[in-house]
């Protein structure tokens, strides 16, 4: 199955309390895994809910092929799979029965066809052996995999997953990554997250959003390559941190073995004691949301 590009142009959303959650957001999202990376409160969930037809934008447009995403909501829902950040389940219902019920709601009316679809999805997300188990007894990772199964009902062309790996242990995160990568081979999958490694591990294309605005777009490898030779690090006393922030373009700090390590982005050494370090997508992320990088437009 080949999906059209999802074209988002000039989306704006301001809440009644005055918070401008989306500020002229424009993105082209191609087939495959697309990472939407940003801190909590950046506007990611607002964008996801808007694309999922759960709320209206104040201005702008979004199109997926011949579908007007903002106006033809019924058409969007027919081709959409959505796993929200807070995905509730009926704790006493088995995965098999719940997925069968959701399949009926999705319009899969023929019992035999529905059974085949449910069985196939439970196998795909590796829940077949626990299909009779009540959802309330599932681990966090199992619930998220069930959430993906329900999102895949009806062969969607667009799949949206909002903060799917938050709270998962490392083993479950790997399982979930593998599942998302498999799904992303055939459809558009938007992965909204604040976890940098989720994007670097999975996504061929990405955008960084902060305070409602797109700060950077491109391919993770290309964006990281743009910082090669420009990230410098030094250990400082914690008491010197504020002065260092005031004097230099600091992008991140962390405490390691009792020392404060600061990363600075600069074209040349920012001073005595700084050594060049390998650039990472995390450096790109912190530099972008800190306003240390110029916005990069997507290639046409």
Kindly report the three-state secondary structure assignment for every residue of 229-284: CCEEEEEECHHHHHHHHHHCCEEEEEEECCEEEEEEECCCCCCCCCEECCCCHHHH
Q: Tens of pLDDT along 228-283?
A: 999 999 999 888 999 999 999 999 999 888 889 999 999 999 999 999 999 999 99
DSSP letter (8 states) at residue 10: E
- For the CA atoms of 48, 52, 57, 62, what is the dihedral angle to 10 degrees? 90
The whole-number pLDDT of residue 297 equals 43
73, 230, 251, 270 from 275: Cα distances, Å: 53, 10, 15, 9
109 vs 296, residue with greater confidence: 109
The whole-number pLDDT of residue 178 equals 86
Q: Tens of pLDDT along 98-153?
A: 999 999 988 898 999 999 999 999 998 889 999 999 999 998 888 888 999 999 99
Place of tokens 């807070």: 86
Pairing of strands 6-14, 59-64: antiparallel
Distance CA 213, CA 219 (A): 18
The whole-number pLDDT of residue 298 equals 42
> Does the structure show a pLDDT above 90 at 94?
yes
> Does the structure show a pLDDT above 60 at 296?
no
**pLDDT mean across residues, the chain:** 90
> Does the structure show a pLDDT above 70 at 188?
yes
Distance CA 263, CA 23 (A): 29
> Does the structure show a pLDDT above 90 at 186?
no
> Does the structure show a pLDDT above 60 at 63?
yes
Mean pLDDT of 159-175: 84
Judge contact between 76 and 53, C-beta under 8 A. yes
pLDDT band at residue 294 under the 50/70/90 scheme: low
153, 200, 209 from 193: Cα distances, Å: 23, 11, 10
> Does the structure show a pLDDT above 50 at 11?
yes
Longest dimension (CA), the chain: 72
Distance CA 279, CA 196 (A): 13
The whole-number pLDDT of residue 19 equals 93
121, 144, 191, 263 from 177: Cα distances, Å: 16, 11, 11, 29
């Amino acid at each position: 199955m080949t999906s059209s590009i999802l074209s988002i142009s000039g989306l704006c959303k301001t809440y009644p309390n005055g918070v401008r959650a989306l500020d002229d957001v424009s993105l082209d999202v191609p087939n495959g895994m697309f990472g939407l990376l940003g801190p909590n409160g950046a506007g990611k969930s607002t964008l996801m809910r808007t694309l999922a037809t759960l709320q209206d934008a104040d201005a702008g447009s979004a199109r997926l092929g011949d579908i007007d995403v903002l106006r033809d909501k019924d058409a969007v829902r027919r081709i959409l799979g959505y796993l929200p950040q807070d995905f509730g389940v009926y704790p006493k219902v088995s995965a098999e029965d719940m997925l069968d019920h959701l399949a009926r709601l999705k319009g899969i009316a023929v019992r035999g066809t529905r059974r085949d679809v449910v069985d196939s999805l439970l196998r795909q997300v590796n829940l077949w052996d626990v299909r009779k188990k009540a959802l309330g007894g599932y681990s966090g990772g199992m619930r998220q995999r069930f959430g993906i199964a329900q999102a895949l009902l009806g062969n969607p062309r667009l799949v949206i997953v909002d903060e799917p790996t938050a709270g998962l242990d490392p083993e479950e995160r790997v399982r979930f990554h593998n599942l998302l990568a498999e799904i992303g081979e055939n459809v558009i999958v938007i992965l909204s997250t604040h976890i940098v490694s989720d994007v670097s591990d999975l996504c061929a294309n990405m955008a960084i959003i902060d305070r409602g605005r797109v700060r950077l777009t491109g391919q993770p490898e290309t964006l990281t390559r743009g910082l090669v030779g420009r990230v410098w690090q030094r250990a400082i006393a914690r008491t010197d941190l504020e002065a260092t922030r005031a004097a230099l373009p600091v992008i991140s700090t962390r405490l390691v073995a009792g020392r404060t390590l600061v990363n600075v982005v600069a074209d040349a050494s920012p001073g005595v004691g700084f050594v060049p370090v390998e650039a990472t997508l995390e450096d790109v992320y912190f530099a972008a949301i800190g306003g240390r990088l110029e916005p990069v437009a997507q290639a046409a």
